[in-house]
Structure 1
Amino acid sequence: MKVVLCWFRRDLRLHDQAALYHALRSGFPVVPVFVFDTGILDDLDNREDRRLQFIHDALLQMQAQLEKLGSALDVYYGTPAAAFRHFTEKYDVAGVFTNHDYEPYARQRDSAIAAQLQQQGIVFRSWKDQVIFEKEEVVKDNGSPYTVFTPYSRKWRAALEPFYFKPYPTEKYFVHLHRQPAIPLPALSEIGFEPAVRGFPSSNPEDALLKHYDTTRDYPAIDGTSRLGVHLRFGTVSIREVARRALKLNETFLKELIWREFYQMILWHFPDVVHASFKKEYDNIVWRNNEREFKAWCEGQTGYPIVDAGMRELNETGYMHNRVRMVVASFLTKHLLIDWRWGEAYFAKKLLDYDLAANNGGWQWAAGSGCDAAPYFRVFNPTLQAQKFDKDGKYIRKWVPEFDTLTYVSPIVNHEMARKRALETYGKALKP
């Protein structure tokens, strides 16, 4: 019996999932598949990576749902090329359905898999699922991509219609899932990893929290952000569902979702930003790249309490409050004059909600090298940031309990000196 494979990647749910919906309506039984891609996993340093635990948990949940429906998730560990050789030997495959992924590695991977399948006469089809608008859907009137957020966000809002929030009613078509016995999911130990600490944020934050998002989101000591980053990253929630709630509950929260799509659009149109500054002249900056100071920053031992609190929170939990992310990124690039790529790579290793487009966009914003960036001469004062957003020191005390004792490390750099040095260094590099 011919089947269609639905390849899950950044969309780990059965509900309101574009590719699954189209697969279920294709006229063929649908086999859900997932690939533990060694091209990605081999680059992970930590054998107890919490992101992998999160993915594994999401797959177990999907597997349990599918078993109740008499179907099964088929999981392969290896390269995508080997995975689809295996799947096409095991099943009589008419097509492979999946959702778009906009990162450079993913685009190359999908192109290679599409070519491999084409040689076997198998169609490869892909849909939009992880964003409301993608690629060229929100562009300037002349067809060129936006490079500044505010006009992009206006156009994004103007283009919005209820149609874009409409869920894909996958449940109506579950009868078209391929019937087969349960297939055991490989344990993390079988793919070279170990179980990690759980305690993941909820995929369904309270309405009350989202309603007050604009007034609470800047204060790291309180639970005032959605914590949906990891769920949006791996698609355990639908962006359509989240955006519907944002539109109804809080304009500032919706704006953050638009920022997410802005950075996805930038990555699609300007893939060079992965390795190079969006504003090319910023690649002329002569970074100090002091390894001892970078180590102190990584370990939360800079002598600036809010910076150290953020880095310790990140190292221990895989999360850092968004306001604090801006402060620590500014500190690394401006106070220490360390290349933003070093900080971006460290976040990429540690962040549970790591997303290439948003991480790159955020770091380039902090360094001044990105699109729509703050002017390079705006340097966050970490002491003032702490006074403004953690005035009682509650957040700092949680992560840096020794900060007001004699055992706390002295500041590794003087703020005024560092600010002056940053302005001079940037000024030299950016001279016309």
Structure 2
Amino acid sequence: MGAALPLGEPAPLDGLLPASAAVGAAERAFGVYVHVPFCRVRCGYCDFNTYTASELRGARQVDYADHAIGEVRMSRRVLAASGVAERPAETVFFGGGTPTLLPSDDLVRMLDAVRGEFGLVPGAEVTTEANPDSVGPDDLARLADGGFTRVSFGMQSAVPHVLAALDRTHDPERIPLVVRWARDAGLDVSLDLIYGTPGESLDDWRRSVEAAVGERPDHLSAYAIIVEDGTKLARQIRRGELAEPSDDLEADMYELADDLLAGAGYEWYEVSNWAAAPGQRSRHNLAYWRGDDWWGVGPGAHSHVGGVRWWNARHPAAYAERVNAGHSPAVGREVLDATTRETERVLLGTRIREGLDIGSLSAGGRRAVAGLIADDLVDAKAALAGVLTLTRRGRLLADAVVRRLLED
């Protein structure tokens, strides 16, 4: 289920990391991602590593928390044996799938395992994703009592025909309810939106953004739909049942969202993310964009420590078998070379508002800056201060900016 794992070398059964992973670890932030791979239905656009009940084949949802806790305990031993400095987790993020298909007590037990093995920094950010129809007020209160601080609801759209095209099952009228329940529990709230769905008009999109803003969430994400090979959506487009998303319309939708969000007091801090205040930015996702360390728990989860990236067995049954045998669930890994690490630093660093130190770019990258300013892709005032930050036009063409910065 989902995209194939990347190519790489086999990971050792004991999970031990090469010595290079330990270099400088004490200076890097550390976070934990927990992948919960269960969904009630498969959305037509999704190629994530997720499974409905009929696809589990030998794995049981009820056992999942124990398997994940087994990996959390293993992860501390592996990092210690690899010489990686022990650090408390600054962020914990439960994603999926739909984490809240599991009982709240299971999610809290997994968080307790992270806390018990690594500790959490004071004020740690602890997030779970949730579908609006997968939680009630008691669930959210239990999560907050158990140490969660934030919930990210998959709103996607406020328009019924757009939700139907996405195979989303919730009623748009439920969004105000779940936001209120989360607020009552003391949780910060993020709403996730998708734009460019086949059949979605600019007016439809305006309605969705305005509905989201009307709930006054702390954070909003807006992602252009991606047609992934092997998904139901890709097959529908190939058969001519749905129109392929329009790049021009998606650009108009992005600009509309940026205008509406800025007008409501939200500030972009990453190409697809806006926050009501700097303190409401997703610290976990910022850690990805800054190249920090994280351990990914669960089937198909990816991890990164000190330039070493690895990934777990994809199917929950294969994952459980490895954990129960006392083996690392990792099946492959790669050690990033200097060129790859620099490419990723530029690729990710250009996406965030804080930008890149122009002096840290290659000679070719520094030469490219003047042209990028002339093309209104890079903010001129920030560049004069030595920082490369994208304009809104640059955000729309971020991949092109990166290519120019990486040219010799």
Q: Could you say which TM-score interval applies, normalised by the shorter chain? A: under 0.3
TM-score (norm 2): 0.24
Give the structure with the higher percent strand: 2
Larger Rg: 1 or 2?
1
The structure richer in helix per residue is 1
